[in-house]
Amino acid sequence: MWDYSEKVMDHYRNPRNVGKIDNADAIGEAGSLACGDSLKIYLKIENGIVTDAKFQTFGCGSAVASSSILTEMIIGKTVEEVKKITNKDIAEQLGGLPPEKMHCSVMGYEALEDALGNYDNLTDLDDLRDEKKAEKIVCTCFNVTENMIWDAIKQNGLKTLEDITNYTKAGGACGKCKGLIQDIIDTYYKKEESESQQSTLSPAQRILKINNIIETQISPELRKDGGDITLVDIDGNKVLVKLRGKCSGCKNSHLTLKAFVESTLRDTVDKNIDVIEVA
Ligand code: FES
């Protein structure tokens, strides 16, 4: 038996704002009946403020409680404020959820995100649906996309496969997606580590690193095609360079700068770097 907070029990026994809103300004959905639970949320938005919210859910007690408290959290708030709400906020407002039930708070967050996305794209819903279809599904058993897993890791600091299953259900049935989920976790933390290393560089270390990347990674690649590059100066995020050899005067030099030189420096040193060619 799960250990539920009083608040969860209260919202489960007396759910607020159940139902649908006719002529809703935004509707969002998450989960699916095939996966065991689903949520549909309706928003009424006037002058940028959520004036009413209702939900219909098919799911367990925590799904009902998460949806119910979510509607209370968003009514009266501006759309911009509502956009900042995460699944962690929903769980906190409920006084916590058992780890195995965190996916209910994620479902609330996803339905809200879907509704706000639809609200922002009211004029082009078909494009939005196409975009969603194009998202990469990682777990076909529960229809969980790569973005959903990435968001769950980011918002909740998830570290293990078990965490991901608790928060999104992905990996909780046939298990075929576990390798892919582990890849996403590894990629997330590698990226985070490299970003934290970048932010701790002193100005002198930063200059040395940029110079080193240019000399050991960028220049050798350009030399293979008869070109080359020299670092001229660094001014804040601006890295001034001179292209040489075949690269100099080449009609594709702009592409070389942006697609190769700048992207290499952004990946390895700082994502805000701008590379500028000087004569
Ligand atoms: S594909 Fe993810 S559990 Fe089956």
pLDDT at 146 over 60: yes
Model-level pTM? 0.60
* 250 close to 256: Cβ distance less than 8 angstroms: yes
Q: Please give the residue that has the higher pLDDT: either 113 or 3.
A: 113
pLDDT at 1 over 70: no
259 and 152, same domain (yes or no): no
Confidence of residue 62 (pLDDT cuts 50, 70, 90): very high
162 and 103, same domain (yes or no): no
97 and 170, same domain (yes or no): no
189 and 207, same domain (yes or no): no
Q: What pLDDT, on a 0 to 100 scale, did the predictor assign at position 123?
A: 38
149 Cβ below 6 A of ligand 1 = no
Is 139 one of the annotated active-site residues of the chain?
no
165 Cα–ligand 1 center, Å: 10
Q: What is the pLDDT of residues 250-266, one digit of tens each?
A: 666 777 777 788 888 88
Question: Containing H/E element for 171?
Answer: none
166 and 46, same domain (yes or no): no
166 and 121, same domain (yes or no): no
Looking from the CA of 212 toward its CB, the CA atoms found within 13 Å total 8
168 Cα–ligand 1 center, Å: 11
Rounded Cα distance between 73 and 68, Å, is 9
Q: What pLDDT, on a 0 to 100 scale, did the predictor assign at position 37?
A: 83
**Helices and strands of the chain, counted as H and E runs:** 13, 8
Task: State the amino acid at position 31 in one-letter form.
Answer: G
Indicate which atom in ligand 1 lies nearest the CA of residue 174: 4
What's the domain count of the chain? 3
In a 3-state reduction of DSSP, which class is residue 230? strand
Q: Domain range for residue 175?
A: 137-200
48 and 66, same domain (yes or no): yes
180 Cβ below 6 A of ligand 1 = no
Rounded Cα distance between 251 and 259, Å, is 14
**Closest C-alpha among 245, 232, 219, 244 to residue 276:** 232
Is 250 one of the annotated active-site residues of the chain?
no
The token pair that represents 69 in the structure block? 């408290």
**Closest C-alpha among 161, 166, 158 to residue 183:** 161
Q: What pLDDT, on a 0 to 100 scale, did the predictor assign at position 49?
A: 92
Average pLDDT in the chain: 86
> Which residues have C-beta within 8 Å of that of residue 205, sequence separation ≥ 6?
none
234 Cβ below 6 A of ligand 1 = no
Most confident region among 65-69, 140-144, 231-235, 238-242 by mean pLDDT: 65-69
pLDDT at 15 over 70: yes
Report angle CA 127, 85, 150 to the nearest 5 degrees: 60
The token pair that represents 189 in the structure block? 């933390």
Over range 193-207, report the average pLDDT.
Answer: 78
Mark which of 185, 200, 215 sits at the end of a domain.
Answer: 200
Q: What is the CATH number of the domain that holds 9?
A: 3.90.1010.10
3-state secondary structure 10-58: HHHHCCCCECCCCCCCEEEEEEEHHHCEEEEEEEEEECCEEEEEEEEEE
Percent of the chain with pLDDT over 70: 91
pLDDT at 111 over 90: yes
Over range 148-172, report the average pLDDT.
Answer: 93
Over range 15-19, report the average pLDDT.
Answer: 95
Over range 165-190, report the average pLDDT.
Answer: 92
Rounded Cα distance between 128 and 278, Å, is 41
* 18 close to 54: Cβ distance less than 8 angstroms: yes
120 and 1, same domain (yes or no): yes
Over range 101-107, report the average pLDDT.
Answer: 92
pLDDT at 129 over 50: no
181 Cα–ligand 1 center, Å: 10
**CA quadruple 54, 59, 61, 65: dihedral sign:** negative
164 and 272, same domain (yes or no): no
138 Cα–ligand 1 center, Å: 8
Which is it for strands 274-277 and 238-245: parallel, antiparallel or unpaired?
parallel
For atom 4 of ligand 1, the residue with the nearest CA is 174
Q: What pLDDT, on a 0 to 100 scale, did the predictor assign at position 128?
A: 44
111 and 154, same domain (yes or no): no
Q: What pLDDT, on a 0 to 100 scale, did the predictor assign at position 124?
A: 45
The token pair that represents 87 in the structure block? 């699944």
